[in-house]
């Protein structure tokens, strides 16, 4: 049985430390899955020339730039985020890309600064899972969207995380620790339709998509398998030896070309009354 110190050295050698928000966001955005579902959210939002759109929890602002380009010179897009470093990076990227219709604000999605109906549509992408009160955020997105405008939110449901491993109990321990303790709202994906209806949105729809991995390196970068196993050990939810054996077997499966992991993400859309 390995002890925690042994695992610490192994994880450090594997580069399993905390990933910065900017690096993580860029890693996810670079995947084909993310590119496809982001396009879908823009279509559901109905982004059109001359429109004005809001992105809550905008991160580094790449989606705001995309919406601003679609909205054209007569329209625009605004991103709001509570992380000053990410907002500064978003402004830098907007300047480098030469997209004048993109704006960014430091702010709180629970208390948006704009008046009722200020935007033609509002969205959030994988941000609400980290916020204090998802229901209030949905209500704010609905409030600042003009009547008939669309609200679109995409989120994973972390309890749908699957990994092909013979160690079912260990896999469940890692997934449950992540869902219940590491992510503030690990079930947010399945809760979106309810929050939309509670916010008064009409014509609510929801659809899901699977982000699948056959490469453990890519899966670990996005799903954080080593990082979450480490956290489960530190919290006493998982024995260090079990975590070491679980990861070793996943690495062996990867070397044989047999690794598989996946998570389901959901996109909800609704119309402001």
Q: Give tens-digit pLDDT for 54-95.
A: 999 999 999 999 999 999 999 999 999 999 999 999 999 999
pLDDT at 24: 64
d(CA 141, CA 245): 45
pLDDT at 9: 33
233-249 residue pLDDT tens: 999 999 999 999 999 99
pLDDT at 19: 61
Mean pLDDT for the chain?
91
Written as six digits, the tokens of 6 are 């042994």
- Counting Cα atoms < 13 Å in the Cβ hemisphere of 145 gives 32
Q: Which sign, positive or negative, has the C-alpha torsion 137, 138, 142, 145?
A: positive
Residue ranges per structural domain of the chain = 4-271
Judge contact between 240 and 233, C-beta under 8 A. Answer: yes
pLDDT at 41 over 60: yes
Judge contact between 266 and 190, C-beta under 8 A. Answer: yes
Per-residue confidence at 154, pLDDT binned at 50, 70, 90? very high
5-39 residue pLDDT tens: 333 333 333 333 456 776 766 777 777 777 888 99
pLDDT at 3 over 50: no
Is the pTM higher than 0.95? The answer reads: no
175-224 residue pLDDT tens: 999 999 999 999 999 999 999 999 999 999 999 999 999 999 999 999 99
Residue with the two structure tokens 């429109």: 51
pLDDT at 6: 35
Strands 202-213 and 261-271: antiparallel
Domain 4-271: give its CATH superfamily.
Vaccinia Virus protein VP39 (3.40.50.150)
pLDDT at 22: 66
156-176 residue pLDDT tens: 999 999 999 999 999 999 999
pLDDT at 2: 38
The neighbouring-strand residues paired with 95 are: none
The torsion angles phi and psi of 128, rounded to 5 degrees, stand at -65, -30
The neighbouring-strand residues paired with 156 are: 265
d(CA 90, CA 80): 10
Mean pLDDT throughout 254-264? Answer: 97
Alpha-carbon distances of 230 from 10, 17, 20, 50, rounded to whole Å? 10, 10, 17, 48
Helix (H, G, I), strand (E, B) or coil at 46: coil
pLDDT at 32: 74
């Amino acid at each position: 049985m390995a002890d925690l110190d042994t695992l610490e050295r192994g994880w450090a050698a594997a580069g399993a430390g905390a990933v910065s928000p900017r690096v993580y966001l860029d890693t996810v955005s670079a995947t084909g899955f993310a590119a496809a579902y982001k396009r879908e959210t823009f279509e559901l939002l109905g982004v059109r020339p001359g429109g004005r759109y809001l992105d809550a929890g905008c991160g580094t602002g790449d989606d705001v730039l995309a919406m601003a380009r679609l909205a054209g010179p007569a329209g625009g897009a605004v991103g709001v985020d509570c992380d000053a470093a990410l907002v500064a990076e978003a402004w830098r990227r907007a300047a480098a890309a030469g997209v004048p219709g993109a704006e960014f604000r430091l702010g709180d999605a629970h208390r948006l600064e704009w008046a009722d109906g200020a935007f033609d549509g509002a969205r959030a992408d994988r941000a609400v899972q980290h916020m204090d009160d998802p229901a209030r955020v949905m209500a704010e997105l609905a409030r600042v969207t003009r009547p008939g405008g669309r609200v679109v939110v995409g989120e994973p449901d972390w309890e749908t995380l699957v990994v092909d491993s013979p160690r079912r109990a260990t896999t469940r321990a890692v997934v449950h620790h992540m869902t219940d303790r590491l992510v503030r709202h690990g079930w947010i994906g399945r809760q979106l339709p309810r929050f939309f209806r509670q916010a008064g949105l009409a014509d609510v729809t929801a659809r899901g998509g699977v982000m699948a991995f056959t490469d453990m390196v890519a899966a670990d970068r996005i799903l954080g398998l080593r990082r979450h196993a480490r956290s489960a050990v530190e919290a006493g939810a998982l024995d260090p030896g079990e975590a070491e054996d679980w990861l070793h077997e996943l690495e062996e499966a990867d070397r044989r070309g047999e690794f598989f992991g996946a998570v389901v993400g959901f996109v909800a859309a609704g119309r402001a009354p």
